[in-house]
Amino acid sequence: MTPRERVLASLNHQEPDRVPIDFSGHRSSGIAAIAYARLRKALGLPQRPIRVYDPIQQLAIVDEDVLERFHVDTIELGRGFALEDEHWVDWTLPDGTPCQMPRWAAPERVEGAWVLRSASGRVIGRMPDGALYFEQAYWPFLEADDFDRIPEAMAETIWCAVASPPGPLASGPEGDRVLADGARRLRQRTDRAIVGLFGGNLLEMGQFFYRIDNFLMLLAAEPRRAHAFLDRLVEIHLVNLERFLRLVGPYIDIVLFGDDLGMQKGPQMSRAMYQEFFKPRHARLFRRAKELANVKVMLHCCGGVRPLLPDLIEAGLDAINPVQISCTGMETRGLKADFGRQMTFWGGGCDTHVVLARGTPNEVRLHVHEQVALWKPGGGFVFQQVHNILADVPPDNVIAMFDAAYEAGAY
């Protein structure tokens, strides 16, 4: 099978020739740039510039030689853009490793920290000395909200304003052409399954604007106002979704939405609150995506969200990542038994909380073999570790993980 055929078969709950493998196909299956530099060295690969495509999380672009080495079946749409040196500027990672950042998202040095600014000049992200990633530093609706200003507020929010490729290349008078041409060229040069990152966050967008505590209180104490905010947000998302899929829909296989609904011990809200505020709006977005393009719909959703899975399935979700198996209710055997015929689990292949970070290579290998054996029957599984590989993960563990996924994946 080709990589694309392999991924689509599994998404259709058919058993392909082997379990598909994702590595850096989206912004939660990647690797910190510090760890990536060490991985390349451990693999004995030639030195080349380490490019950080996601400045907030400090994630590296994974090069073709590494994708080939680990039999990776996916690729992010963003890899079709910012291919020229002119789009990158030199920077240095917190451990002293040279790297390159997108020119439009280059950090600035301010009083013992690195900062990221919005186009207006406001500091919206901060990485103090000793930290390994940026944290949000400004919430536009913290003091007062204004629903007519939601687009402007997005431009002042780190998770919206600091874009990975194509970033601002896809805006302006030539933006439509650039986006469509880049997607078409990527489709022509790869047979991997292409993941188009859309976003469309609902709960998280409220938290980006109001701050987490304030938005949860808004949902509970002022439901009418929360509904009005979410209605306005969905209308904006739908307009953006129409443009995105009109331009790239023919060239991608999966469209990725995002909303972290869970915590370590369970969902951030009751199931009833999810059904009231978010399920109908997720359903509207997921349905529209499928009307606009021949795509599978995936949701990035961290945490213990088992109680919400029936509703997400009813809303039209095809796949969920990263499948945080260390959370309450997210045990592999139970998820596969109860939802494996209706939902593709894109993740849960290796625990990053303890095993990948602190285990030996042999412990990682045994763990991955066990996980893959539980997940793979009947398809409906794409291997990825639980979220990104962080900076302190030993390269030998990363190698053991992907080699084990390939070894265990044959049907």
**Predicted local confidence at residue 66, as pLDDT:** 98
Dihedral (Cα; 388, 393, 397, 398), 10-degree rounding: 40
**Predicted local confidence at residue 172, as pLDDT:** 84
* Separation in Å, CA 319 to CA 29, 161, 315: 14, 27, 12
pLDDT, averaged per 10 consecutive residues of the chain (411 residues), comes to: 98 98 98 98 95 97 98 98 97 96 96 95 96 97 96 96 94 93 98 98 98 97 98 98 98 98 97 98 98 98 98 98 97 98 98 97 98 98 98 98 98 96
**Predicted local confidence at residue 173, as pLDDT:** 87
What pTM was estimated for this model as a whole? 0.97
> And the tokens for 164?
């990975």
**Predicted local confidence at residue 118, as pLDDT:** 96
Contact (Cβ atoms closer than 8 angstroms) between residue 78 and residue 24: no
